[in-house]
Structure 1
Amino acid sequence: MSEEFLDELHKISHDDDWRYKLLMQGVKQTLATRKSESAFKRYLRRKSKHITAVWK
């Protein structure tokens, strides 16, 4: 999610119903952008980023 979106979400009170609707809209937008990515980019994002330790 973009920084602007998260800033707007932080400004809204936790008791406000719009907060949850806005959050769901942001999640749907994020999933749509990930779905439109190429298969190679999805693979790179899924790939493990672990650094193996050197054996001693």
Structure 2
Amino acid sequence: MRNNCVSPTVLTESTAYQPYFPGFTPVRAAEVARAYLRAMANPVTGRLLKLHKTDG
């Protein structure tokens, strides 16, 4: 069994939720999907794949 976690902040497409994540730059859903694919396609386990952007 493998255990990985994908942890995005708020999605670019979820504009209604963005006020609840002040100070975070939204992440596109396509990038979150790629992270899930990476978590499933690699043999690593026990990883937290953080998805966050910074301005800059």
Instruction: Give the TM bin, normalised by the shorter chain.
Output: 0.3 to 0.5
| CA radius of gyration, larger in | 1
Larger strand share, 1 or 2: 2
Larger helix share, 1 or 2: 1
* Structure showing greater relative contact order (alpha-carbon pairs closer than 8 Å, 6 or more residues apart): 2
